[in-house]
Amino acid sequence: MVDQQPTADATERIVQPGQFYGAGLPYVGMETYPGKIIAIEGTDGVGRSTQIRLLREWLEVQGYGVIETGWTRSVLMQPTIDLAKASNTLNKLTFVLLYATDFADRLEKEIIPALKAGFIVLADRYIYTALARARVRGVDRAYLRSLYGFAIAPHLVFYLKLDVDALIRRVLRWGGMDYWESGMDMKLADDIYESFRTYQGKLLREYSALGEEFGFRTLDARQGIDRIQEELRSQIGAFLGASETPAVR
Amino acid sequence: MGKKKNLLTPTTFSLLHATDFADRLLYKIIPPLKAGMIVLADRYAYTAFARDVARGVDRQWVRDLYGFAVKPDLTLYFRVPIETSLDRLLARRVKLKFYEAGMDMGWTRDVKESFRLFQGKVLEEYDRLVEEFGLQVVDATGGIPDQQRRVRKLMARELERTDG
């Protein structure tokens, strides 16, 4: 409706960790907070929550304050999102906006206060999963970049990458394919297996594109839990060690 | 949903209303437009542009947020000074609503004073919108018949323009 194009063509612009991607939250303002955001991305079934649990223990033993935040876990939006999913009434635009609302709520109520207090925020998915899902559904990229202009760029983003074949075997072993994870709303195929395969393939291509755009550190999620954890600790340790403004110790 | 207990921030307030608007646009507005009908909308995206910016969200961000909206063929802005709207609301013994009075901003505990401050900022934004989006101003301090005459004239002109 607005005559001019969205201004937030942030692909051109390098956003420093800890800064807003776009318009930000003008009423909050932006200083450099002492805390750090470490995000773990990846599709379902790559072991994100296990890795985060282990990281949390490791960081806390070293004396860091840690909070976890996870996708659709906001107090404000979780019941609404669950309800909307259960009734399959979401179209792609309301989907995008509900997710953005959930993220905004957690950003302002959990993430920013923790950053101010010098905590490490371990994010079980950040904005990228929402971006990947929306982009696969054909939502305009410039629109999404502007929408998430209030998000703060994480200090580290790890992407646990799994190919479609390995992902399918894991998901089937862990209880099967569900409607949304199979992208059945997109009507890609009548058969849930074919739909899952096509949908997750598209998602993985979006994650790769996002990885380039946002500088993900990619880890091979076919490796064992311990091996992945070791790699995460080594990279996070190096980052925190080199960091000029260490978190509370 | 979420409006109780002062739970909303300016950004989540804005996003929730955009979500609701997206839903109404897709189910209630676009189908009749496709069928060639006239849609009379009691408030549109401009309400959000004025109100959300008054709460402190970025002006361009909220315009981009509603980038999916259909631009109305005609937008009427019924303008009254704050004191008039406050008098009218109080005369009807309407209890001033929490968010409408901008009580979430925490500027003052006095509801009337908060209403004045907040709606004052909203009106400033509307004035900006009149220019930016070409809203047609209707002086709403006068009587209903006068207002209705102006509304019908503007609407007739618009219909003539688009049908002709």
Sign of the torsion formed by the C-alpha atoms of A210, A216, A217 and A221? negative
Is A182 contained in some domain? no
Q: Work out the percent of chain A whose per-residue pLDDT is above 90.
A: 65
CA A59/CA A35 separation, integer angstroms: 13
* Confidence (pLDDT) at A161: 95
Helices and strands in chain A: count of H runs, count of E runs: 9, 5
**Residue of chain B nearest A4, judged by CA positions:** B64
* Confidence (pLDDT) at A86: 64
* Confidence (pLDDT) at B164: 54
Q: Identify the weakest region by mean pLDDT among A42-46, A190-194, B40-44, B137-141.
A: A42-46
Is A176 contained in some domain? no
Is A3 contained in some domain? no
Q: How many domains does chain A have?
A: 1
* Confidence (pLDDT) at A163: 93
Cβ–Cβ gap B19/A98 under 8 Å? yes
Q: Which residues in chain A touch residue B15, judged by CB atoms under 8 angstroms apart?
A: 97, 100-101, 104
Closest CA to B40 of B139, B161, B152: B152
Is A232 contained in some domain? yes
- Residue A193 corresponds to which amino acid? Y
- pLDDT, one tens digit per residue, over A97-147 is 999 999 999 999 999 999 999 999 999 999 999 999 999 999 999 999 999
Cβ–Cβ gap A93/B45 under 8 Å? no
Mutate to test the interface with B, among A98, A101, A145, A147 (most CBs of B within 10 A): A101
Domain residues for A83?
17-164+216-242
Cβ–Cβ gap B67/A2 under 8 Å? yes
Q: Are A63 and A117 in contact (CB under 8 A)?
A: no
Is A203 contained in some domain? no
Q: Is A198's Cβ below 8 Å from some Cβ in B?
A: no
Please tell me the distance in Å from B56's CA to the nearest CA on chain A: 5
Closest CA to B55 of B21, B112, B15: B15
Please tell me the distance in Å from A143's CA to the nearest CA on chain B: 7
The secondary structure of chain B, three-state, reads CCCHHHCCCHHHHHHHHHHHHHHHHHHHHHHHHHCCCCCCCCCCHHHHHHHHHHCCCCHHHHHHHCCCCCCCCCCEEEECCHHHHHHHHHHCCCCCCCCCCCHHHCCCCCHHHHHHHHHHHHHHHHHHHHHHHCCEEEECCCCHHHHHHHHHHHHHHHHHHHHC
Given pLDDT bands bounded at 50, 70 and 90, which one contains residue A150?
A: very high
Q: Is B18's Cβ below 8 Å from some Cβ in A?
A: yes
Q: Which residues in chain B touch residue A94, judged by CB atoms under 8 angstroms apart?
A: 19, 22-23, 26
pLDDT at A249 over 50: no
Residue A103's CATH number: 3.40.50.300
**Residue of chain B nearest A95, judged by CA positions:** B19
Is A7 contained in some domain? no
The mean pLDDT of A12-40, rounded to a whole number, is 87
Within 131-160 of B, beta carbons closer than 8 Å to A belong to: none
Q: Is B19's Cβ below 8 Å from some Cβ in A?
A: yes
Please tell me the distance in Å from B103's CA to the nearest CA on chain A: 15
- pLDDT, one tens digit per residue, over B85-127 is 888 888 887 788 999 999 999 999 999 999 999 999 999 999 9
Task: Return the ∠ at Cα A222 (arms to A216 and A223), rounded to 5°.
Answer: 90
> In the numeric block, which tokens belong to residue A5?
């194009």
pLDDT at A4 over 50: no
Q: Is A30's Cβ below 8 Å from some Cβ in B?
A: no
Cβ–Cβ gap B45/A25 under 8 Å? no
Q: Is A149's Cβ below 8 Å from some Cβ in B?
A: yes
**Average per-residue pLDDT in chain B?**
92
Cβ–Cβ gap A76/B57 under 8 Å? no
Q: Are A120 and A247 in contact (CB under 8 A)?
A: yes
pLDDT at A64 over 70: yes
The mean pLDDT of A73-87, rounded to a whole number, is 72
Is A227 contained in some domain? yes
Distances (CA, A) of B47 to B20, B101, B154: 13, 14, 20
Q: Which residues in chain B touch residue A24, judged by CB atoms under 8 angstroms apart?
A: 58
b/e sequence B77-91, b meaning 16+ C-beta within 10 Å: bebbeeeebbeebee
* Confidence (pLDDT) at A113: 95
Q: Which residues in chain B touch residue A27, judged by CB atoms under 8 angstroms apart?
A: 10, 55-57
Is A149 contained in some domain? yes
Q: Is B21's Cβ below 8 Å from some Cβ in A?
A: no
ipTM of model: 0.85
* Residue spans per domain, chain B: 4-163
* Confidence (pLDDT) at B90: 86
Distances (CA, A) of A14 to A21, A77, A153, A192: 9, 31, 10, 40
Q: Is A150's Cβ below 8 Å from some Cβ in B?
A: yes
Fold observed for domain B4-163: Rossmann fold (3.40.50)
pTM: 0.87
CA B155/CA B73 separation, integer angstroms: 10
